Amino acid sequence: MFQLDSDHVFRVDALERLSWLRHGFGSKQSANWPELHDLATLKQIHSDCVVLVDSPGPQGEGDALISNKRNINLAIRTADCLPILIADPHRRSVAAIHAGWRGVVSQIVPKTVDALGRQFDSNPEDLVIAIGPSIGSCCYEVGPEVAIQFASFFPELDLTSRTKVDLAETICRQLGQKGVSRGQIYLSDRCTFCDRGLFDSYRRDKHEAGRMTTVIGLT
């Protein structure tokens, strides 16, 4: 489902099939990508703020961008946090989301789905959603003060001690409550912490870590 191309950018088959769409999940080895103009960017603050984009350029503070305008490329940057792309093939609207644990807990992804519905009449059951390479549950261990904030999403787990949290699974469960089926969600199986050669990881490399760019836009 996720394919690494010759530019070391990950593409998702389900999004590649949309002829009107441009997208890609950058890696550590695609430092010069994207060579695109008309990027819309955010000062990312680990929030639940969704920003409507009508023109390229800096869009202020927030962690999700939505648009239905052509020739604007929504861009977010990550290094362990989850990069998420959404496309509505019927309404031709798109979203790019940066989600760290704070954003996941505050439900930035389902809130972005809500924003697509309000702004563009997008229906949850029509969306194609891709969650790109990020830190996996294999490596994302947190203390009880963080883990307990996921209790409502994982009622079957005891989260009162140090534990490993699956951020992507949390998002899938949140989206399920919005009417998004598992078949609409495409998950990368790559962990950014595990693969030093291919991915930047803030948890692994601290302030020496770079950032990887993820982009989506209407052509």
pTM here is 0.97
Asked if residue 99 lies in contact with residue 109, where contact means CB atoms within 8 angstroms, the answer is yes
What distance in Å separates the CA atoms of residue 188 and residue 140, rounded to the nearest whole number? 16
**Closest by CA position to 130, among listed 166, 153, 99:** 99
Look at residue 155 and tell me if it is in a domain.
no
Mean of the per-residue pLDDT values for the chain? 97
Look at residue 201 and tell me if it is in a domain.
yes
The range of the structural domain enclosing residue 170 comes to 2-137+166-218
CATH code (residue 26): 3.60.140.10
Tell me what percent of the residues of the chain surpass a pLDDT of 90. 97
Q: Can you list the residues of the chain whose pLDDT is less than 50?
A: none
pLDDT digits (tens, 9 = 90+) for 99-108: 999 999 999 9
Look at residue 158 and tell me if it is in a domain.
no
pLDDT digits (tens, 9 = 90+) for 16-56: 999 999 999 999 999 889 988 899 999 999 999 999 999 99
Look at residue 144 and tell me if it is in a domain.
no
Look at residue 145 and tell me if it is in a domain.
no
Look at residue 90 and tell me if it is in a domain.
yes
Structurally, how many domains does the chain consist of?
A: 1
123-154 per-residue burial string, b: 16 or more CB within 10 A, e: under 16:
ebeebbbbbbbbbbeeebebeeebbebbeebb
What distance in Å separates the CA atoms of residue 208 and residue 30, rounded to the nearest whole number? 17
